[in-house]
Amino acid sequence: MGTGTLAAALVVAVTSMPASAGSACAAAASTLSDAAAVYVKKGQQAFVERFVRGSPLAERMAAEGAEQLRHIEAVLGPIQGFSVISRKSLGARSCYVVGVLEYTNGPAFTGVLYYARPEGSVPISLRLEAEPDEVFTYPVLIGSD
């Protein structure tokens, strides 16, 4: 690869990434909110399909997420709404987003690690818990950018 080709490749790589860690987090929070809106309107299966889209761990996350959501819905009833509680940059391309899933009979909490790729933010890990302190595990993750 010549220097001109390498330089052009670097320009494309740099310009297709988020401008800052804050914009990576804004994109991640928006991606999660969009998936949650699908959950409220179309149900758990549509949410899982939308949530894992583009993730390198899509198959594993889809199976685990669907099982967790079935368990949560059996106890808490149907989903009613969703809110982002917190988002925290973990480097230039990673963001941890915490949200509350509001069901008929109570809340559940989610912590999602997103990674910014040229095609958009993709989930790398997912936690669904009944207790908020389970997704606020480490003090560095608490707070917003």
Which are the contacts of 39, defined by CB distance < 8 A and separation ≥ 6?
46, 47, 79, 82, 101
Q: How confident is the model at residue 5 (pLDDT cuts 50, 70, 90)?
A: very low
Q: Mean pLDDT across the chain, nearest whole number? A: 81
Fold for the domain defined by 17-141: Nuclear Transport Factor 2; Chain: A, (3.10.450)
Find the mean pLDDT for residues 102-118: 94
Domain spans, the chain: 17-141
pTM here? 0.77
Q: Which pLDDT value is given to residue 72? A: 94
3-state secondary structure of 19: coil
pLDDT at 3 over 90: no
pLDDT at 16 over 50: no
Percent of all residues in the chain with a pLDDT value above 70, rounded to a whole number: 79
Closest by Cα among 142, 124, 120, 113 to 55: 124
Write a three-state SS string for 46-102: HHHHHHHCCCCCHHHHHHHHHHHHHHHHHHHCCEEEEEEEEEEECCCCEEEEEEEEE
| Predicted confidence (pLDDT) per residue in 32-82, tens digit | 999 999 999 999 999 998 989 888 888 888 888 889 999 999 999 999 999
